[in-house]
Amino acid sequence: MPIATRHLGRVDYLPTYAAMQAFTDARTAETPDSLWICEHFPVYTQGLAGKSDHILNAGDVPVVQANRGGQVTYHGPGQVVAYPLIDLRRAGYYIKEYVYKIEESVIATLAHFGVTGHRVTGAPGIYVRMNDPGSHAALIGPLNPADPFQGLGKIAALGIKVSRHCTYHGVALNVAMDLEPFSRINPCGYAGLETTDLSTIGVSASWQETADVLGQKLATYLAP
């Protein structure tokens, strides 16, 4: 059964969060999986493990408590947000594999634009080399504990929730956004972690083009 993709446009976070919960609570074994793709108005979202001291200065940006994993992140215009609503038991894979498939989808999307995405052990999300985003060289050995993100910028954030084997929340990929709000938090709980987007590393891709590529990659990688 193919995943049905829905494009929601630019929407407020809270009603979208509520709609994901309602969809998940109401779904049955026969409910088709869905992939929601959207853009949010500015908002900080705090994960279940989130510590308030990671929000340095929210200013006029609302802070919403969510039931996903992870710490605080920022959503705003110019960022593609994808919410896969998948029945993992029916799809036939476990949470760890699900996360891996989402990461692979982002890495494949970045590769489409000539950018190499990297995983950092123990720090979910996808990162790029700021000074050489197209480099295929692997990240070698343990990173410097004093500065584990030296030279890297975070370009995609991941946070998921699984309820009765069904997923919601998802992944956010930065395309061309105002990155200043990230400086007012410790992104994903890491002080000083640089956040970047495609435009900052020299890729002139539109939001829609990026959303289309990411949506296609997610639908392919997450298929049962």
Block means of pLDDT (10 residues each) for the chain, length 224 residues?
92 98 96 97 93 92 93 96 97 95 98 95 88 78 60 93 96 98 86 90 97 98 92
In the prediction, which pLDDT does 148 show? 61
In the prediction, which pLDDT does 126 show? 95
* Residue 166 domain boundaries: 4-221
In the prediction, which pLDDT does 116 show? 96
One DSSP character per residue, 82-148 reads EEEE-BHHHHT--HHHHHHHHHHHHHHHHHHTT---EEETTEEEEEEESS-TT--PPPPSS--TTST
Count of structural domains within the chain? 1
In the prediction, which pLDDT does 1 show? 73
Which among 3, 188, 205, 213 is annotated as catalytic?
188
In the prediction, which pLDDT does 146 show? 60
Report the amino acid identity of residue 134: G
Q: Is the pTM of this model over 0.75?
A: yes
Active-site residue, 166 included: no
Residue 175 belongs to a domain with what CATH number? 3.30.930.10
